Structure 1
């Protein structure tokens, strides 16, 4: 989907639906705006249900102050206007009150941007604006002061977060990534002290190059391939809706043919992926004019080494990632279903999936279908896309249960004799 072709009013509706739908703001909370090429500011209305906004509800404020629309602009329009005047490079502003970021705002601490690499280069450094009365000139001045310092992401004391960017999609990506990281940090704190990445590790991650591959022209697409692409898109959107990864992170692939597979593209919004967006890989060739995920080499190596693997998912589920950024082990011996699907879950060093794809691929044996990459991701394999997705869901639910259980008492694992009974009853491979 080319968002540049959408009218600002349509973009505001689209992204407010996503923000509200994912529980990142309330019926009356949050506001979005876009500055168009004419200097008009399009903004969400005040005192209107955020769960049922339409294009007709969007407000337009002209450069001379004329207001067009059937409602009033958001009461926090002043700080949106302040930001645009302060930072001419910013064309979209997003303000919301997601619980995790509000938690940081009411203890007046900044969330870490060093737990996973994407946060630092998506959000940059984060500012903190002093408390001000909502809708007041004072609050607008305090927020603008932080943006004048060069921050694009600002936490508001006892309030929420404001993000400015060159487009609403970029603002949303930063917002979504920061909220994910904040939730991750809160969960990780319950497991122990989170391990952070060094600036050098983050810089290295950002500089990773795409795998150079020769191209082929797709001349014919079989019914089988069309079905695979359609099914992949269904599960990708499902995973996104379940917050197992963010809009531009997370990779799905499925084996196709003797020496090929189909994989998600790099950088495209997972919410709106269509079958034609997916990238076909045949041997060392990629589909022409498409950019596959940067993890394509790892997927290729796993398929080469393990004939039993037919699907791979790389995701960033917040509860699983809490284990990936701490020293706490993710133990599958919680309930029988978890052990049956998860088995052994090793942790691999940060960057190993890119630096050593062959060694990383070798980890995924029949009794080790999942691995965590420290401070990066979870890698899940399966004999089918459904099997891999089920495994991912169970792993995230299990991680969530363990985190919740720690507040109730000591976690009691299934003992060795009981594990042997499960292995025998379900014919689990050694």
Structure 2
């Protein structure tokens, strides 16, 4: 084996190990008061790698820091490839200013220090240049976090700061002043965005959510005026039971749910905490993902079983669980359900624009004619979504809230969700080059007849 081949192989092994770390390091524990035994170096590498791999920063852009309980600031280095960052690349800056490490700290260290000095609650600062957030910074706007229920709670207060030279003391003063006023996310004029959090997990979740909102708004540009969410609903309260046995079939379903959660995230069809996946075990007995989970960190033991109206003890099922139960009770052909907030579909969901599935035969076969439920109706009675579902209408868009797909198994529910976002993207791309010409009624009927689709 040549040296270059060995180096490439070693690099692949290293990044594979990073992903294993991400999958097993549960980012949901931002509110867990137990001790965190993961070294700050590893946390920074894992989170920056994730930012880079999902297109939220560039090779030379972005930086993350963690302030430990001893006052040390652990920060990513300046001028080092973000795609190959290793734990020994991370720099440490002591309270007295002593720098430890083999590189230079990020050039943005001054504003990290300034934020920590004015926000004692902040234990992590994250700055990156995602294309969507940079776009907003170029036009002097903040993404509207009130567009989707729950996202304002994740992002907190969003502010906008004036431009100054990167790495300058003045920039640090400008940004930290916004954080001192209570901002949790700051859009930086002609630069990008910076967020803080009580943990690096919370900071990442805030940045990712803000980026997703920005992407949705950009996708919806030129469509109808944005809708504002209406109403609110509380998640169902469940009696509990103690699970003492899992059949091989249940274990298989749990494993499949974990894999599809990761796949949905890797396909950028969801952001952290905004996904519900379910699979039926038997009558009035099904599995569902937990509330607010991280798709890359989901474990089979995190998944919640709900049987005879009782939830597995010690777990918090997704807020959609009651709706999923109603769908399973009504339709004997429904054995898997997914609900997500994919960015291209959400452009339609947040503007009240009808998503037309009559684009190509494959899209119509997967989705059929898409149904729509208003946000107000959904908030007043989430079970109303089930009224829209039939074998011929297995896909429902809930305005401002997401898309729900039903299938006879997980792969069919996933395919319908993936195809829906694909179709929404195709229509938006077509609008740039001409007028969209959907398949006509006769062609639709020919498809129904040829593929024996349910009426």
Q: Shared fold by TM > 0.5? A: yes
- Structure 1 segment 81-92 matched on structure 2, within 5 A: 81-92=113-124
Structure 2 unaligned spans of 5+: 1-24, 28-35
After TM superposition, the structure 1 stretch with the greater mean CA deviation from structure 2, 214-223 or 167-176, is 214-223
How far apart are the structure 1 equivalents of 2:179 and 2:46? 25
- Structure 2 equivalent of residue 184 of structure 1: 216
- Structure 1 equivalent of residue 164 of structure 2: 132
How far apart are the structure 2 equivalents of 1:129 and 1:232? 41
- Structure 1 equivalent of residue 363 of structure 2: 338
- Structure 2 equivalent of residue 400 of structure 1: 425
Asked whether the 8 Å contact 2:186–2:194 carries over to 1, the reply is yes
- Structure 1 equivalent of residue 293 of structure 2: 268
Counterpart pick for 1:35 among 67, 91, 96: 67
How far apart are the structure 2 equivalents of 1:289 and 1:127? 38
Asked whether the 8 Å contact 2:26–2:294 carries over to 1, the reply is no
Deviation per CA, 1:322-344: give whole Å up to 9, x if none. Answer: 00011321000000001111111
Do residues 57 (structure 1) and 82 (structure 2) align? no
Asked whether the 8 Å contact 2:276–2:288 carries over to 1, the reply is yes
**1:362 CA drift (Å):** 1.9
How far apart are the structure 2 equivalents of 1:328 and 1:350? 13
Counterpart pick for 2:103 among 71, 74, 80: 71
- Structure 1 equivalent of residue 412 of structure 2: 387
Asked whether the 8 Å contact 2:243–2:312 carries over to 1, the reply is yes
- Structure 1 segment 2-13 matched on structure 2, within 5 A: 2=26, 4-13=36-45
Counterpart pick for 1:316 among 328, 338, 341: 341
Deviation per CA, 1:28-82: give whole Å up to 9, x if none. Answer: 0000001110110000011000001111111110001111111111011000000
Counterpart pick for 1:253 among 278, 282, 288: 278
How far apart are the structure 2 equivalents of 1:217 and 1:417? 54
How far apart are the structure 1 equivalents of 2:283 and 2:327? 14
Do residues 329 (structure 1) and 354 (structure 2) align? yes
Counterpart pick for 2:198 among 158, 162, 166: 166
Corresponding residue SS for 2:95: coil
- Structure 2 equivalent of residue 213 of structure 1: 238
Asked whether the 8 Å contact 2:385–2:396 carries over to 1, the reply is no
- Structure 1 equivalent of residue 443 of structure 2: 418
- Structure 2 equivalent of residue 348 of structure 1: 373
**1:212 CA drift (Å):** 1.6
Corresponding residue SS for 2:279: strand
Structure 1 unaligned spans of 5+: none
Corresponding residue SS for 1:301: helix
How far apart are the structure 2 equivalents of 1:352 and 1:302? 17
Asked whether the 8 Å contact 2:352–2:399 carries over to 1, the reply is no
How far apart are the structure 1 equivalents of 2:397 and 2:184? 31
Q: Please tell me the root mean square deviation across aligned C-alpha atoms, in Å.
A: 1.2
How far apart are the structure 2 equivalents of 1:36 and 1:411? 55
| CA 152–358 in structure 1, closer or farther in 2 if over 3 Å, else same | closer
- TM-score, normalised to structure 1, is 0.96
- Structure 2 equivalent of residue 230 of structure 1: 255
Asked whether the 8 Å contact 1:128–1:155 carries over to 2, the reply is yes
**1:123 CA drift (Å):** 1.4
- TM-score, normalised to structure 2, is 0.91
- Structure 1 equivalent of residue 16 of structure 2: none
Aligned length: 423
How far apart are the structure 2 equivalents of 1:304 and 1:117? 27
**1:220 CA drift (Å):** 1.3
